[in-house]
């Protein structure tokens, strides 16, 4: 990890919990660019992110982790590359209640392939209370096909402790010498 400022990206499909996750752990009031949904997104939620979400965590000794959330809609994919510049890690949130969450995971792995070449990855599976399948084991098997073995955790984005565990799994992947 860098001494001062570190950038982590949260990505995933619409409704996976990116905005909520960042808000649950940010030590500042999160910046959000959510607007009223006006397309098929309205079937899943009332608002959608159109540019980015931003939050901040302090780890001590002056180390800051800047948290950036991408829009989930593919039509805003031009923001994904912009937001990803300089990132040291990627968190993909997958909404298990969507019709094809495994397909969503494959899509976001491909969309962020460039970032994945130099930044570790962690997968957070959300809404398992609504849809327990696919299981973490199914995702692990899918990820093996990509040659990936990242931490995969079930997470409720509203629960700051669970989101911190997800973030710490990523940070320990980046720097195993971090203190808890």
> What is the rounded CA–CA span in Å between residue 159 and residue 102?
23
Question: For 100-132, what is each residue's pLDDT tens digit?
Answer: 999 999 999 999 999 999 999 999 999 999 999
pLDDT exceeds 60 at position 67: yes
CATH assignment of 5-174?
3.40.50.300
Look at residues 55, 84, 60 and name the one whose alpha carbon lies nearest to residue 4: 60
Domain definitions of the chain by residue range: 5-174
Dihedral sign, Cα of residue 38, residue 39, residue 43, residue 48: negative
Q: How far is CA 93 from CA 59, 105, 106, 127, in A?
A: 22, 8, 12, 10
Enter the pTM of the model: 0.87
């Amino acid at each position: 990890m860098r001494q001062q400022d570190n950038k982590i990206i949260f990505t995933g499909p619409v409704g996976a919990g990116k905005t909520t996750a960042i808000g649950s752990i940010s030590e500042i009031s999160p910046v959000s660019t959510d607007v009223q949904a006006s397309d098929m997104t309205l079937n899943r939620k009332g608002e959608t992110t159109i540019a980015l979400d931003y939050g901040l965590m302090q780890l001590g000794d002056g180390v800051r982790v800047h948290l950036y959330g991408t829009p989930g809609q593919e039509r805003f994919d031009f923001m994904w590359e912009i937001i990803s510049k300089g990132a040291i890690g990627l968190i993909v949130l997958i909404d298990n209640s969507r019709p094809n969450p495994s397909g969503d995971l494959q899509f976001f792995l491909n969309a962020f392939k460039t970032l994945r070449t130099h930044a570790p990855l962690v997968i957070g599976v959300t809404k398992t209370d609504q849809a327990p399948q696919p299981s973490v084991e199914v995702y692990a098997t899918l990820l093996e096909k990509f040659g990936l073995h990242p931490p995969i955790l079930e997470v409720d984005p509203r629960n700051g402790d669970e989101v911190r565990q997800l973030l710490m799994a990523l940070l320990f992947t980046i720097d195993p010498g971090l203190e808890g």
